[in-house]
Structure 1
Amino acid sequence: MDKKYHISIVIFVFSLVVLLLTNKINKRNAENSLGDYDFAIGNVEAYFNRGTIGYNAGKSSISYSYKVNNIRYINNYDMLHYKLPYSPNVNDKFVVAYNKNDPQKSLLLGDYPINSNEDFKAFVKGSKNFKIKF
């Protein structure tokens, strides 16, 4: 019994370390992917909020669109890699950070909802010292 207990502790600690390292790697990849970024207004196209129990646990995801130079881009991600906004509705608007050289690479900033063009202008004006928190 004692040996099984120690093995389960080792497995638990190992799993925790792997999870933390994977999360850090995903954040670093996102940071490198965005590189030199700019901002656009993103529109929520679909939001899937799945429960915390069962097969789909932690698989909530979001799809969003945004325009750069009159070209519409669509992107999506799930909560395993990035923070999702809290229960957005379809057509809710948020700030999107996108790579200036490759606009398809982007990240919806769920902490920054846009309710009017003035909200977006105020965000961009105040974004000179803004740093994305991955």
Structure 2
Amino acid sequence: MTNFFDFQDGPKIKILILFLVLICSIYYFFKNYKTLEFQPKLLLCIAILGSIWLFFQEKEENKDYNNLKNNFALTTGKIEEYIVVNLKGYKGNPGNSIKFKYVCNNETIENSYYESYIVSIPDAKPDLNISYLVIYEKSNPKNSYILLNYPIKNSDDFENYKNTFRDKIPEDVFKNSSGK
């Protein structure tokens, strides 16, 4: 089992909140089981199962992040789609998102992600005509992020970035990161 203290700060807070919801829901469910009508029982069951599911989802996301940090490789990629949702009253996706393509082991991979506690996606649209550095997990190339703060404007940039990442991941790659 993953140690709770190995999680990033974002998942720690979410897990604590989910744990509190789970404990309160279970307590209320069993304390008032005989007097509750069907709808509150159903809602409490949904809250209990939802809390458990979200806990495991957070755990898996954190595992992917740690695997990437411990076993990474670099390549170049191009942004396919860049969405910024800083509009008032927007009720769509959870936040800024990015979709990109890159080549790994002679295979073109397409990936996308939303802004999260791991990476930020700035509101300012990057240059879509240039390539950017992509960091991916060697054993699972689909686990990847395009690094907008590492643009590749000429052939020397990629080699310079490989030297920068030789010993560990720099601290400006991920939010709240201390490298490897």
Q: Deviations over 1:74-96 (max 9, x none)?
A: 10011245212541243432111
Which amino acid letter does the alignment assign opposite residue 111 of structure 2? N
Letter in 2 for 1:65: K
CA contact (8 A) 2:11 2:62 kept: no
Q: Which residue in the other structure is 1:21 paired with?
A: 13
Match of 1:105, SS state, is: strand
Q: TM-score, normalised by structure 2?
A: 0.55
Report the Cα offset of residue 50 of structure 1.
Answer: 1.6
Please list every run of 5 or more consecutive structure 2 residues that lacks an aligned counterpart in the other structure. 1-8, 16-57, 176-180
Distance 1:94 1:75 in 2: 14
1:51 pairs with 2:92: no
Q: Which has the larger radius of gyration?
A: 2
- Whether contact under 8 Å (1:46, 1:64) holds in the other structure is yes
Identity of aligned residues (%): 23
Q: Which runs of 4+ in 1 moved over 4 A?
A: 17-20
- Residues 32-69 of structure 1, C-alpha deviations (whole Å, 9 max, x = no match): 24140100001101101122421248522100011012
CA–CA distance in 1 between the matches of 2:11 and 2:139? Answer: 31
- Quote the Cα distance in structure 2 between the aligned partners of 1:129 and 1:94: 20
- Quote the residue 1:12 is aligned against: none
- Which shifted more, 111-120 or 28-37? 28-37
How many Å separate the matches in 1 of 2:152 and 2:66?
Answer: 26
Larger relative strand fraction? 1
Higher helix proportion, which one? 2
The residue that corresponds to 2:66 in the other structure is 32
Pairwise CA distance, 1:104: 1.1
Determine the C-alpha separation between the residues in 2 that align with 1:18 and 1:99.
21
Q: Whose RCO is larger (CA < 8 A, sep 6+)?
A: 1
Which position in structure 2 is the counterpart of 1:126?
164
